Every structure is written in structure tokens, then in C-alpha cells.
Amino acid sequence: MMGMVALAGVVVNDSLILVSFVNDLRREGMPLGQALLRGGQLRLRPILLTTITTVGGLTPLGFFSSGQAKFLSPMAISIIFGLSVSTVLTLIIIPCSYAIVEDLRRALRSFVGIKKDVFLRGLDDSKGKASRAS
């Protein structure tokens, strides 16, 4: 159970790093496709470094345990392999899901008849809150 909580925390952090950066690029006016590609390129290093350091820190506990550390070895091994797989999925599935949600949002907006992009309009980069003057 503790392994799943730890794994979920790191995976959510990696996803937030990527999505937040893509949102920042889109606020600056970059098109969706370019923002996803550029965000993936520029956030690849932080995401991989988070994974590598976590895996590196847990490797001795997972594979070279002795004494009382034997009880924590299964948790460390599950975090190591789960994080390795989820990092690849984060770098591939999150941008694809972002594009799909954006397409669905665009289709719904055209179906309802909303002309302006409510998500990107009026966001204040310095505070992260929507401004009232729009």
C-alpha cells in the first residue's frame, strides 16, 4: 500500500510538470501541437532525473537488502518497476491525452457555439489565477 502511494506521488508530479509547462507555452500563444512537442522536449530531463534518482535511491533497498530491510524490499522493487513503466507512459500518454481532451473541448465548444477560448483567456501568469478583466 505504501509503495502505491509513493509511486502515485512521483507519477502525478511528473505529469504536473509536463502539463503545467505545456499550459504556459499555450498561454504565450504557441499552437497545441508545437506546445506539446516543445513541452516534451524541455521537460524530458526533469522527468527523467526524477525517475533516475528515485530508482537509484531505492535500488540498494530493493535488491541488496539484508536483515530488517527484507520487509521493505518488495515495496522498493514495485516502486522501481512501476516508476520505470509510468515514466515512459507519462512522456507518451499524457501529451496524447492532452491533445484528445483539447479536440473534444474544441468540438464541444463549436457545438455549443462558444467563440472564445475560456481556458486561455485572461489567465495571469504571475499569480496563476484568472483575471476578472476579460
The per-residue pLDDT for 120 is: 55
Whether 124 is in a domain gets the answer no
- Which residues form the domain of 25? 2-112
The per-residue pLDDT for 65 is: 67
The per-residue pLDDT for 116 is: 61
The per-residue pLDDT for 76 is: 87
Q: What CATH number corresponds to the domain at position 50? A: 1.20.1640.10
The per-residue pLDDT for 25 is: 95
**pTM of the predicted model, to two decimals?**
0.74
Whether 18 is in a domain gets the answer yes
Number of compact structural domains in the chain: 1
Whether 134 is in a domain gets the answer no
Condensed to tens digits (0 to 9), the pLDDT of residues 48-87 reads 998 999 999 988 888 886 777 788 888 888 899 999 999 9
- Listed as ranges, residues in the chain with pLDDT below 70 are 65, 115-134
Whether 121 is in a domain gets the answer no
Whether 32 is in a domain gets the answer yes
DSSP the chain: -HHHHHHHHHHHHHHHHHHHHHHHHHHTT--HHHHHHHHHHHHHHHHHHHHHHHHHHHHHHHHS--GGGGGTHHHHHHHHHHHHHHHHHHHHHHHHHHHHHHHHHHHHHHHHT--S-TTTTTB-TTT-SB-S--
